[in-house]
Amino acid sequence: MQILSKQHSYMFRVFWRSRSNFGAGAILDLTNQFSKTRILSTNRNYRAPCDKTIAHRQFSTTAKMVEEKVSVETVTVEGKEFRTVTEGKATILVPQGAKIGEDRGEIQQVFYNPIQQYNRDLSVLAIKTYGEMSLEKRKEQYESRMNKQSKKRKRGDDDQKPTEAVNPPPQDKAQATEEAAKPNDAGARQPKKETKPSFRILDALSASGLRALRYAHELPFVTSVKANDLSDTAAESIRMNAKHNGLEDKITVTQGDALALMYRGIADDLSNRDKGGNPGKTNKFDVIDLDPYGTAAPFFDAAVQSIRDDGGLLCITCTDSAVWAGHSYCEKTFALYGGIPIKGMHSHEAGLRLVLNAVATSAARYGLAIEPLLSLSIDFYTKFFIKVTKSPQSVKFLASKTMLVYSCDSGCGAWETQPMLRSKPAPNKKGSGAFYKHTMAQGPSADRHCEHCGMKMHINGPMYGGHIHSQEFIERLLAQIPEADPSIYGTMPRLEGMLRTALEEYLPGPEVKEPVDPKDAQLATVDHYPFFIIPSRLANVVSCVTPSEDMVRGALIHLGYRTARSHCRPGSIKTDAPWSTIWWIITEWIRQKSPIKESSIKKNSAAWKILTDAGIIGQEKRGATGETAKDDSAMEGVEQQSSEAPVENTADAPNGDGKLLLSEAELRKTLVFDENLARLARRRGEQKLVRYQMNPRENWGPLAKASRR
């Protein structure tokens, strides 16, 4: 290992401690004296560059993204020099002086940020998946209407048809030949030329127009794309890029405020009603893409009214993660999204639910219901694909799918959810079925102090309490991956990894036993396990060595619970286990593998209460009394679980089908933290995927807002 000279060490003015897999204290050299992404030794006594192959291994899941550079060429258009950037099938012309990727020292105009290619790749594939599903549905509806009309026409023809004579008059051969030679009017009609169904996209905040260009280029069913931007410079750039790509017939460019554009279309439709008094739909869009600088909240109201109300798609990006995932600007979060964020390890998933609730409440005012197809927390932003449908009946379920959260954010991190309303099945008057009755919810669901650690509970929300993904949509989206061209979609490995993780994080709740309408049952479904845990955070609370993810997952599976990952954070575990079981697993880990010193635990802290109740500190010095308390604490919270979630185990005497149902209390006695337990959590044949993005380069992230000229 080469040691840097003292002279070179003075040149390192700025260092950034990587949070990636390089380990704690790894330092990236941000100067130009060494190659970018070159890693320095983690030893603070000296700074030596590590071998390049080490960096490659550490970034093995994202090495392509780290080393891949944006291909830039120079062309002359109308006497002016431009740099060209190609992404997917689209090429944009970047004026001299505009920002490309890491050119942070140059004047910022309309720019290109390569970090956002994943966002654009995902948007193109998601809209393609949605478009195919939407057009299939429209085709089925059209064929159904045509069949009904043909049946009515046939019945009318049969009613008007005269009764034929039993013995028709004879025809001579000449007459018969003449009749056969006459052209058949029905067969002689020319078949109608098939018209391409309309599919309109609004790119409301288009900037350089790259998204609009890719939609027009890569989505074969798109008939028109409207690209709008407030900046006249950006609008002119979009026109030039559309002409350069030969898409002037598909892309319409407008310059103005996005809200004004959408509200003008809404007003026009309201002024042109049909005979039934319903507003017109000529200005509705199939897809609206909102990708502003910062929050998209100001556009929600206009967007839900401008989208097709028979299942239109909203694509929403919010980059203000400090607002919806932080706790320093709670008043700002409430002003924008109508809820209070969560402080804790699951803050990003709570942020997703805050934004979804804001969209859902905006839509509900107009009798519109939302269905989240895909909701992702990605890097520094969120990405939503939301289906909007006109259904006053569905809107009635929104209150029961809206929840408050009581969080022990200053203690152990536990939480409890509280629905705003309850939707319960009730028998109908005939007794032949059941319907959903909406009633007041009983609350609160938690005490003022946490039952596990005794610290204060804080209120968060309201936020969306339903499932944030559609299993069917993700499966259809994943089916696009093998057919997609890697040269067009450069972030394919990460796309597949994150989508697989989102698909696997689904944990269904208990089934509805009452004979309700399946559609209503789907509308009433809530996410009973909305958040995740991180073992390292739990270990930090009680100051013990962190158990591996496999150990914790194996323990949960051993006790009969389900586990999954969350796409939001590496090392996360989603489970249907209660918090009493989770903390029992951590304290049992301490007993078996990671003993702690009582002197290191501060009295009246969260750890003190948890460990004292578990009998690990304080009471164990009292001999037999302490052992009794330890046994009692081990069984705390198990009674309700033993009846609700019995687990099949073949170790003892069998029941009717050859298996014995063991309670959690019995299974706790056989839990041993060893390699067999960890092996229980590992999935055989699991495909290795790029599930989580490491930092692709230094100083990466959102660029500043473009200046208007």
Tokens 């049909």 sit at which residue?
Answer: 274
Cα–Cα–Cα angle for 91, 95, 99, rounded to 5 degrees: 90
- CA proximity to 42, closest of 23, 62, 55: 23
Task: List CB contacts of 512: < 8 A, sequence separation 6 or more.
Answer: 425, 521, 524
Tokens of 355: 């934004």
User: How many whole angstroms from its chain centre is CA 432?
Assistant: 39
- CA proximity to 349, closest of 575, 503, 566: 566
Q: What is the pLDDT of residue 480?
A: 94
Task: List CB contacts of 258: < 8 A, sequence separation 6 or more.
Answer: 204, 205, 228, 230, 290, 299, 302
Q: What is the pLDDT of residue 322?
A: 94
- List residues bridging with 419 in a β-sheet: 403
Q: How far apart are CA 133 and CA 115, in angstroms?
A: 29
Cα–Cα–Cα angle for 289, 290, 294, rounded to 5 degrees: 155
- CA proximity to 50, closest of 42, 14, 19: 42
Asked if omega into 547 is within 30° of 0 (cis), the reply is no
Q: What is the pLDDT of residues 591-634, one digit of tens each?
A: 999 999 999 899 999 999 999 999 999 754 444 334 434 444 44
Q: What is the pLDDT of residue 482?
A: 92
Cα–Cα–Cα angle for 177, 180, 186, rounded to 5 degrees: 170
3-state secondary structure of 297: helix
Kindly list the domain boundaries of the chain, sorted by start residue.
6-58, 72-114, 535-673
Tokens of 707: 């200046």
DSSP state of 614: T
Tokens 């699991």 sit at which residue?
Answer: 686
Q: What is the pLDDT of residue 435?
A: 93
Q: How far apart are CA 118 and CA 491, in angstroms?
A: 6
Task: List CB contacts of 535: < 8 A, sequence separation 6 or more.
Answer: 546, 547, 548, 549, 551, 552, 571, 573
Tokens of 661: 């149902």
Q: How far apart are CA 359 and CA 273, in angstroms?
A: 26
Tokens 């929104």 sit at which residue?
Answer: 398
Q: What is the pLDDT of residue 346?
A: 96
CA dihedral in degrees (531, 537, 539, 542; nearest 10)? -100
DSSP state of 284: -
Instruction: Write the CA distances from 533 to 181, 574, 586, 673, integer angstroms.
Output: 81, 6, 12, 19
- CA proximity to 671, closest of 586, 545, 571: 586
Q: What is the pLDDT of residue 498?
A: 96
Q: How far apart are CA 282 and CA 495, in angstroms?
A: 35
Low-confidence ranges of the chain (pLDDT < 70): 1-72, 97-111, 152-194, 619-661, 684-685, 694-709
Q: What is the pLDDT of residue 24?
A: 35
Beta strands 90-95 and 80-87, pairing class: antiparallel
Q: What is the pLDDT of residues 509-557, one digit of tens each?
A: 999 888 999 999 999 999 999 999 999 999 999 999 999 999 999 999 9
**604 burial class (0-12, 13-18, 19+ CB within 10 angstroms)?**
exposed
Q: How far apart are CA 134 and CA 11, in angstroms?
A: 58
DSSP state of 456: B
